[in-house]
Amino acid sequence: MKRTKWLMLLVVFAMIMAACSSDGDDETTTTAASGDDTATETTAASGDDTATETTAAAGDDMVDVSGTEVSVFAAPTGDEGASIQATFDVYNEATGGVVTYEGSDDFEAQLRIRVDGGNPPDIAITPQPGSICVFADAGEIVALEDMGMDIAALEAAHGAYFMNLGKCADGKHYSIPTNANYKSIVWYNKPVFDAAGYTVPETWDEMVALSEQMVADGQTPWCIGLGSDAATGWPGTDWIEDIMVRTAGADVYNQWSNHEIPFNDPQVAAAFDKFGEIMFGEGFVLGGADGVSAIDFRDAPDPMFNDPPSCLLHRQASFIANFFPEPLPREDAAFFNFPAIDTSLPPAAMGGGELAMVFNNRPEVGAALLAYAGPEYQCIQASGAGVPGIERISANANTPNDCYVTDTVKLQAEAVAAALGANGFVFDASDLMPPAVGQGSFWTGMIDWTRGTPTQDVLDSVEASWPAS
């Protein structure tokens, strides 16, 4: 896996300092924290009886992780997956443990297959909070309380909102957030935007008017891609969610995600109709509405940076910058916050993230998870762990903002941290819904809708798929 020289130097420097500080019977300890919990401790002694003991915190206990193996399974692949493994590589060198990461574009389905087959990973990191309590209710994952973890410390570091996403019917917590992303973003090609004299819109109506102006100027406003292999359709759900929280408000949004109002409620239909102003606007979308499902979401922003650009705007979460074409001057890619629709409603921020679940309760598993979720390793992750172009936003409020490489990501991280602190952050609704909906009918419904299926038919179909409680 790719790692930068500074990462290697970080490890080597720590080892050198430990060696230099050890004299006679003195000991040197290095630590990494998760919240207020010590995550790793390496002790080295010199003298005739030189001994090295590598330990890590699992709950309240310090355990020797040297020589142990831990498997981690999640969705990110490619460079993003490489950055996760590179982060664990630093942990491995510091502790003597062996944490191995595996990513899959078909993560949700493959995880279910592995669990059903009796071969789950030790840790699975899911972007779908709605699946956590499904696993918990089936007795397939381990509660953090049962691992001896300090919930108060974790809530102080990650926020009660994020931690409660993994709180299930028994009142216990089953997940720790490992990263966040900010989804209420519209990206644009700044040099082209500025040269044309366009103004950043502050309201939905202004954004629609801007799109109309771009068409009049001979431009195609929007790059949209809904393709994502087995998960095709999910980028469209993000549009609906960003609109829903700005037309109906956060309270109704949360009622919708919890099925306290039906999926085919008129307020949901209104959000689809609002999205239709963009998706079906004359000349608004590159390739047309019926073609967006064939465009992979990772490739969707590329035409924005062609010379000349084939489109000028792209709504997608913060992580999409990891897929921008290279080489690309990062100052060419700017963003504005998804604009207000009903200006009488308070400002909203919609986002997502990934949460780690534990399938196998062993001390080294808890130790690796606490370390990875702690600020030291979150900082390495935030910097991209040496993989060019990768920066993952930390879900730990104790992660220094200076860990991020680019100003753009720093601003996004600040927005996420501020929203979490003010309890103004709402999680991606499809990720909160039961898998049959959030990872199934809602995704496929978006594809049907872009291909011409009437809105009400789509909403009725999704509502019919909702599992009986």
Q: What is the DSSP string of 256-311?
A: HHTTSS-TT-HHHHHHHHHHHHHHTSTT-BTT-GGGGGGSBTTTTTGGGGSSS-S-
Q: How many domains does the chain have?
A: 2
Does one domain contain both 395 and 324?
no
Q: How many Å from the N-terminal Cα to the C-terminal Cα in the chain?
A: 45
Residue 206 is assigned to a structural domain of this protein: yes
Does one domain contain both 312 and 445?
yes
pLDDT at res. 22? 34
Rounded Cα distance between 393 and 382, Å, is 6
Rounded Cα distance between 75 and 84, Å, is 11
Residue 319 is assigned to a structural domain of this protein: yes
State pTM to two decimals. 0.71
Assign residue 151 the CATH number of its domain. 3.40.190.10
Residue 253 is assigned to a structural domain of this protein: yes
Does one domain contain both 205 and 336?
yes
Does one domain contain both 171 and 143?
yes
Containing domain of residue 357, as a range? 5-11+71-181+352-425
Residue 47 is assigned to a structural domain of this protein: no
CB atoms within 10 A of CB 161: 17
Quick one: which of 218, 257, 219, 220 has its CA closest to 240? 257
432 in helix, strand or coil?
Answer: helix
Does one domain contain both 258 and 377?
no
Residue 19 is assigned to a structural domain of this protein: no
By the 10 Å C-beta count (0-12 exposed, 13-18 middle, 19+ buried), 115 is classed as middle
Does one domain contain both 330 and 362?
no
Rounded Cα distance between 71 and 98, Å, is 9
Q: 430 and 239 in contact (C-beta within 8 Å)?
A: no
pLDDT at res. 23? 36
pLDDT at res. 31? 34
Does one domain contain both 307 and 438?
yes
Which amino acid, residue 408? T
pLDDT at res. 347? 80
Rounded Cα distance between 165 and 168, Å, is 8
Quick one: which of 242, 379, 390 has its CA closest to 320? 390
Does one domain contain both 404 and 459?
no
Residue 78 is assigned to a structural domain of this protein: yes
Residue 84 is assigned to a structural domain of this protein: yes
Does one domain contain both 442 and 397?
no
Quick one: which of 414, 181, 444, 170 has its CA closest to 318? 181
Residue 39 is assigned to a structural domain of this protein: no
Does one domain contain both 311 and 455?
yes
Quick one: which of 274, 77, 88, 59 has its CA closest to 150? 59
pLDDT at res. 181? 86
Does one domain contain both 372 and 449?
no
Q: One digit per residue, pLDDT tens: the chain, 469 residues?
A: 333 333 433 433 233 223 233 333 333 333 333 444 434 443 323 333 333 334 555 655 677 899 999 999 999 999 999 999 999 999 999 999 999 999 999 999 999 999 999 999 999 999 989 899 999 999 999 999 999 999 999 999 998 889 999 999 999 999 999 999 889 999 999 999 999 999 999 999 999 999 999 999 999 999 999 999 989 999 999 999 999 999 999 889 999 999 999 999 999 999 999 999 999 999 999 999 999 999 999 999 999 999 899 999 999 998 898 888 876 666 688 999 899 999 988 888 899 899 999 999 999 999 999 999 999 999 999 998 989 888 899 999 899 999 999 888 888 888 777 776 666 678 999 988 998 999 999 999 999 999 999 999 999 999 999 998 6
Does one domain contain both 173 and 292?
no
